[in-house]
């Protein structure tokens, strides 16, 4: 109880603990988990759906409402599908838990080996790799993870932000509210963050296609401050504006997420990679620092001139 009280000492922590408890409570129920799994590929909103999934109408609609209220699924058109949060929970927690549950016997063997203290961590990792197909221990082997669509990228970025302990470096061509909000929460908890926003984002934050720029307005300076600063009004994040050719996010200088640009449509997200190779991370830290050192004002001024002349 003392531990829970300390965890829930702040309003933010209390909210997070309550939300997490709610999600775990819902998914711990077999019928709710079944509905959640079926929603991955879309669950039709039809009168006979409860019968198809083997539940009474009361069971089905009660659990469906709980899943919607928890933010795990939502109705889109005539079917229920995973939200971004639901996709993340499904991929990173439910499916991985299923996989780990298959290896319970092997994990018990590993625990027995560890207790004997007769084998090194490398010996145990090699053993696990042979019987379980992958190491359960921490590994320094370079990892590459592909995020093929924007929703997957957002889920992975939120995950990595939550596990980052010291620093996030972000150079971005996009603004996503979920990512922004998670960064802001981590900043409140002491995370150091620097953001370089692409100058073209300026256009998206100026309403009416730049009409406000053309008009004389006594509040123009303040509005420009907001529109060129997607993390406004937080004063705890160091921010700059530059010409960002592709997005990069670096976590504790140990992992880097890299956007691959679509050469046919450079304004459209194509896919992204998450890598932990030390050499690559170091090179992208240098790339970020080069963007950070760009002269301030020139990129925004160029966009402002373009808007005024259109």
Task: Kindly give the confidence (pLDDT) of every residue in the chain, 310 residues in length, as a single tens digit, with 9 standing for 90 and above.
Answer: 444 554 444 444 577 778 888 888 999 999 999 999 988 888 888 888 888 888 899 999 999 999 999 999 999 888 999 988 888 888 878 887 877 777 777 777 777 877 887 777 677 767 666 655 544 444 445 678 888 888 888 888 998 898 888 999 999 888 788 888 888 888 888 889 999 888 777 655 554 444 444 444 444 444 444 444 554 445 678 888 888 888 999 999 999 999 887 777 776 778 889 998 888 899 999 999 999 988 766 555 555 555 455 5
The Cα–Cα gap between 107 and 123 comes to 15
Facing residues of 172 across strands?
197
Has domain 144-309 been given CATH number 3.40.1390.10?
no
Facing residues of 274 across strands?
145, 257
* Domain 2-86 classification at class level: mainly alpha
Q: What is the DSSP string of 79-99?
A: EEEE-HHHHHHIIIIIHHHHH
CA distances from 111 to 102, 106, 130, 132, 137 (A): 16, 9, 16, 14, 12
What per-residue confidence (pLDDT) applies to 76?
Answer: 83
Contact between 248 and 256 under an 8 Å Cβ cutoff? The reply is yes
């Amino acid at each position: 109880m003392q531990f829970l009280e300390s965890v829930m000492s702040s309003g933010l922590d209390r909210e997070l603990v309550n939300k997490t408890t709610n999600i775990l409570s819902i998914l711990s129920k077999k019928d709710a988990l079944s509905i959640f799994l079926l929603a991955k590929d879309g669950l039709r909103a039809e009168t006979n759906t409860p019968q198809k999934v083997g539940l009474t109408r009361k069971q089905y609609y009660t659990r469906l409402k709980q899943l919607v209220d928890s933010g795990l699924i939502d109705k889109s058109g005539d079917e229920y599908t995973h939200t971004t949060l639901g996709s993340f929970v499904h991929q990173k927690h439910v499916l991985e838990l299923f996989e780990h549950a298959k290896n319970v016997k092997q994990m018990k063997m590993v625990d027995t080996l560890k207790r004997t203290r007769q084998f090194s961590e490398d010996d145990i990792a090699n053993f696990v790799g042979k019987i379980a197909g992958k190491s359960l221990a921490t590994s320094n082997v370079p990892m590459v993870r592909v995020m093929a669509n924007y929703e997957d990228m957002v889920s992975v970025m939120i995950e990595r932000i939550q596990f980052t302990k010291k620093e996030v470096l972000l150079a971005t061509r996009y603004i996503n509210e979920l990512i922004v909000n998670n960064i802001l929460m981590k900043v409140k908890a002491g995370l150091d963050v620097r953001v370089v926003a692409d100058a073209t984002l300026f256009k998206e934050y100026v309403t009416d296609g730049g009409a406000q720029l053309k008009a004389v307005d006594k509040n123009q300076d303040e509005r420009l401050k907001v529109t060129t600063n997607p993390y406004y009004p937080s004063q705890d994040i160091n921010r700059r504006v530059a010409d960002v050719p592709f997005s990069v996010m670096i976590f504790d200088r140990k992992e880097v997420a890299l956007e691959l640009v679509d050469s046919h449509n450079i304004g459209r997200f194509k896919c992204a990679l998450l890598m932990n190779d030390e050499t690559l991370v170091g090179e992208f830290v240098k790339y970020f620092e080069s963007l950070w050192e760009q002269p301030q004002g020139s990129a925004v001024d160029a966009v402002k001139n373009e808007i005024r002349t259109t």
